[in-house]
Chain A
Amino acid sequence: DADVTQTPRNRITKTGKRIMLECSQTKGHDRMYWYRQDPGLGLRLIYYSFDVKDINKGEISDGYSVSRQAQAKFSLSLESAIPNQTALYFCATSEAPGLAEQYFGPGTRLTVT
């Protein structure tokens, strides 16, 4: 079984709809992250969490919110989806700050029409 899982893997939704992307991990890591990837723009950090009680905004948090329900679960919500939020979304975890490898989930391809 994969260490970091994301659901759904693909989603098409309409402008204005609320959508939640979910991430679960079995690695026992405290640190979790949400990124989006767009062609030509690389990976951009949306939100990150260093433990259940810690939530931090990343580079592009506007229009998104997150919830850290447990050490193993970190959800990303789009309260009112818009077309420029169409992207590939990745969840990642890491064991320790800065020096450590980040482990990515398989990604969620979101299309907002």
Chain B
Amino acid sequence: RKEVEQDPGPFNVPEGATVAFNCTYSNSASQSFFWYRQDCRKEPKLLMSVYSSGNEDGRFTAQLNRASQYISLLIRDSKLSDSATYLCVVNGGGGADGLTFGKGTHLIIQP
């Protein structure tokens, strides 16, 4: 049973374009959701938390759909520096403190 699923990509997107990807989760009791960013061979870092009402941080927008059990990340006006792997993290599955990490979606922004 895959608790958190992501399309591994890679998503190849031209600079300046808008890109979106989703993450599905299996535990309907999950309460908190996050997007982490991981650069190649570096540690994951929190990009943003995902709230029920959705939230926006500059060019990044995260949304939660509880009925369909998925969260999404939208990146507008993509920059070369957005190239990274984006990890979906959900509370309510296995792992310490109930946090389960997705395997990540690899994004490549092309000039």
Contact = CB atoms under 8 A, between A and B. Distances in A.
Interface in A42-88: 42-43, 45, 48, 56, 58-59, 88
A101 B43 CA distance: 13
B42 A42 contact: no
Interface string A11-29: 0000000000000000000
Contact of A98 (B8, B45, B98, B104): B98
A66 to B, nearest CB: 12
B43 A45 contact: no
Contacts of A42: 87, 101-104
Contacts of B101: 42-43
**A: contact size bracket:** 20 to 34
B43 A59 contact: no
Nearest to B96: A48
Contacts, number: 55
A101 B45 CA distance: 9
Given A48-B96, A56-B96, A101-B34, A41 B103 contact: yes
Interface in B84-111: 87, 91, 94-99, 101-104
Nearest to A109: B41
Contacts of B97: 31, 48, 94, 97-98
Interface of A: 31, 33, 40-43, 45, 48, 56, 58-59, 88, 90, 94, 97-99, 101-102, 104-107, 109
